[in-house]
A and B are shown apart, each in its own frame.
Chain A
Amino acid sequence: MSYKTIASIANDLATKKVSSVEITKYYLERIKKFDKDLNSFITVNEDAALSSAKAADALIASGKAHPLTGVPIAQKDIFCTKGIKTSCGSKMLDNFVSPYNASTIDNYNAAGVVMLGKTNMDEFAMGSSNETSFYGPCKNPWDTQTVPGGSSGGSSAAVAADLAPAATGTDTGGSIRQPAAFTGICGLKPTYGRVSRYGMIAFASSLDQGGIFARSAKDTAMLLNVMAGFDEKDSTSVNVEVPDYTANLNDSLKGKKIGLPKEFFNQHLDNSMAAAIQDAIKEFEKLGASVHEISLPHSDLSVPAYYVIAPAECSSNLARFDGVRYGHRCENPKDLVDLYERSRAEGFGEEVKRRIMVGTYALSAGYYDAYYLKAQKVRGLIRDDYKKAFEDVDIIMGPTTPSTAFKIGEKAADPISMYLSDIYTISVNLAGLPGISIPAGFVNNMPIGLQMISPYFKESLLLNFAHQYQTATDWHTKTPEGF
């Protein structure tokens, strides 16, 4: 299988080697041909995509185009898209046609980027395997008996199988980085506040962040240039200048210090995975960086803190889904309580209900201090661990996941073991830091990811390291057979 990068597509469009309509048609054909085996898309907007592509071609011809005008990508079905179904992977929003656009969608539209469709995801972004989706599981193109990861499983699988050259995702506890690792592509979660959350259906407001799936650091950088930026409609959006994220890709890594948290190389980590990650890190040493052991002493508290904060916030965020103004409504409600109880019980799946209940309990009278307040304190400790570590090193690395993609159905019955697949990614969201996962090899023929974490707003550094690694290695060019 050959694939096209965002950079090469943009170049071909600019040099008129290909038109946006042709490229868009190419991907739409591939989706038609292969997606029945993957189930990575919930909605494919053929007509709308081609009409955007046509408009893009006209813009390119007029010389007024943005560098990414005419490039088609897929959007996670968590971003509200005006006039287009936005399901968030849930029966609750199966009939929801959003009356407005998320700011991220507006940003992409302003750049002339074409939308191929909306991708599959765990319901309301709650999950690590895409198995909780109302629309059925998505398959990992590397082995269709395995999960692509979650919650942004659809976006990740689509890019890995080249049904889209790139896609957006969201990451609350690892939902971009973990699927990227499982499917052998790049997945970036920016700093909290870097990308607007307006129109990005909320799961855990203080943790959610929109981000990117792409094949390379360069592609990721080009897309981040469009996605990042201050939005006055989002109070948590940070007014920090957006640099050109492609500008520092070629900076030398000489003298840079890499920190390896000893807590990330513990008993949870698969041996072959540990070995492969160590090999990846040796590449960085060859590139001139030095490696140092560091400690993030409160790491083992990140899963407990997360499983209070995220459910608590989601229990409140999902209260708006009540069958009154939009979304699923039960038939013949006999009174108000019945309207609420049945609409919500029918509209939400099990994992969502579990988390709503945990969250409701954690916030309830008598438990707030012991759970929510405590978790926010632990969060402070975790953030400060990173702060301290970054006094000594420039970047932190480790495995993205403890093992490779697990089989569909393997963990669905045991929510706890599912939660533990996020142990390396969760602390990054609690601290609000940016993190990226890049393909770093294979274990038992399945992709593995290397996670890199930088200080706030240093996505350029992450992309620089990723790009340098990708000039010295070719893991990111590997593609699954059969697609």
Chain B
Amino acid sequence: MSLTAVDIKKIAHLARLKMPEADIEQYLPQLQNILEIVEKMNQIDTSHIEPVANALDLSQRLREDKVTETNQRDEFQKIAPSVESGLYLVPKVIDGE
């Protein structure tokens, strides 16, 4: 599973990180090294083991269906980079749903 520059380009796009060629060259060996460490896990057979998501193996608690939040739009939008008429603004998206 050797990582290539093409992989990095794809990953950077999935993660929405602008990645100029020079950066790709810099990150490639670093990421390859990290993956080498991770490869160590392949030394062991885990086919008979269950994955553990929560170490304490607990189950989900439920909350009552009640409205507990109030309108805090002004407070929240004070720190927004771009709002108008109560809406968050982004560059125009074509073909949105």
Contacts and interface: CB of A to CB of B under 8 A. Distances in A.
Interface string A345-380: 100100001101110111010010011011111111
B37 interface: yes
Contact of B49 (A236, A345, A367, A381): A381
Given A97-B78, A329-B81, 11 more contacts: A235-B60, A301-B44, A304-B37, A307-B37, A329-B82, A338-B91, A357-B15, A360-B14, A378-B44, A380-B51, A430-B55
Contacts of B67: none
Contact of B81 (A239, A323, A335): A323
A304 B88 CA distance: 40
B1 to A, nearest CB: 7
A430 B54 CA distance: 9
Contact of B1 (A99, A192, A344, A370): A370
B35 A358 contact: yes
Interface in B1-45: 1, 3, 7-8, 11-12, 14-19, 27, 30-31, 33-35, 37-44
Size bracket of the B interface? 35 or more
Given A357-B15, A360-B15, A376-B53, A324 B27 contact: no
Contact of B8 (A300, A319, A357, A373): A357
B71 interface: no
Contacts of B79: 95-97, 99, 326
Given A307-B37, A381-B49, A357 B90 contact: no
B66 interface: no
Contacts of B41: 301, 304-305, 308, 374-375, 378
Interface of A: 95-97, 99, 191-193, 206, 232, 235-236, 238-239, 298, 300-301, 303-305, 307-308, 315, 319, 322-327, 329, 333-342, 344-345, 348, 353-354, 356-358, 360-362, 364, 367, 370-371, 373-381, 383, 415-416, 419, 430-433, 456
B88 A324 contact: yes
B63 A232 contact: yes
B5 to A, nearest CB: 12
Interface of B: 1, 3, 7-8, 11-12, 14-19, 27, 30-31, 33-35, 37-44, 46, 49-56, 58, 60-61, 63, 72, 75-76, 78-82, 88, 90-93
9 contacts: A192-B55, A307-B37, A325-B88, A336-B91, A354-B30, A364-B14, A371-B38, A378-B44, A381-B44
B56 A357 contact: no
Contacts of A357: 8, 11-12, 15, 17, 27, 31
A369 to B, nearest CB: 10
B49 A361 contact: no
Contact of B34 (A236, A301, A415): A415
Nearest to A95: B79
A237 to B, nearest CB: 9
Contact of B19 (A238, A322, A345): A345
A362 B31 CA distance: 11
B15 to A, nearest CB: 5
A475 B43 CA distance: 41
A303 B37 contact: yes
A99 B37 contact: no
B37 A419 contact: yes
B61 to A, nearest CB: 6
Contact of B55 (A298, A323, A348, A379): A379
A361 B3 contact: yes
B72 A99 contact: yes
B35 to A, nearest CB: 7
